[in-house]
Amino acid sequence: MRNTARWAAAIGLTAAAVCGPLTGAAVAAPGAAPSSLYAPSALVLTTGHGSDAATATPERAVTLTCAPTASGTHPAASQACAELRGAGGDFGALKTGDVWCTKLYDPVVVTVQGVWQGKRVSYEHTFGNTCMRDSVGSGVFAF
């Protein structure tokens, strides 16, 4: 229960940093033109040791915004956005790099919550260890 609350707090705080406070004051007027030509792409990525998000303790959370430009607290935002565009926003389709990892089982779970090109995204995956997590793409999960 404590770990679930920690994950929820980490995601909530990071989402507030990405999306801003939810005040209810921003209501579009009927017939108003959209404020951007780009569909929103704003994500919160988290990682922690454990077999799933419900039991893992969150260790790190970053934000990643890909439209109209790459930004956020992700250490390689431009590269991560380019990889996601190449995979069509499908985290499961990210390719594993040519990296040799040990077979030591020390599970690491990653979660992604947010919006990719205007569509809601929710992703969770458990890797055998940190090396295996970091080998996906060239750095989407290396933060």
- The pLDDT value recorded for residue 123 is 94
Is 80 exceeded by the pLDDT of residue 15? no
**CATH of region 2-17+36-134:** 3.30.350.10
Instruction: Name the residue among 28, 53, 39, 58 with its Cα closest to residue 114.
Output: 39
Mean pLDDT of the 113-139 span: 89
Cα→Cα distances 88→4, 13, 116, 119, Å: 30, 27, 9, 12
What is the token pair recorded at 47? 């990682």
pLDDT in tens, 32-66: 444 556 678 899 999 999 999 998 988 999 999 99
pTM of the model: 0.71
Residue 96's pLDDT band, with cuts at 50, 70 and 90, is: confident
Is 90 exceeded by the pLDDT of residue 134? no
Task: Sketch the domain layout of the chain as residue ranges.
Answer: 2-17+36-134
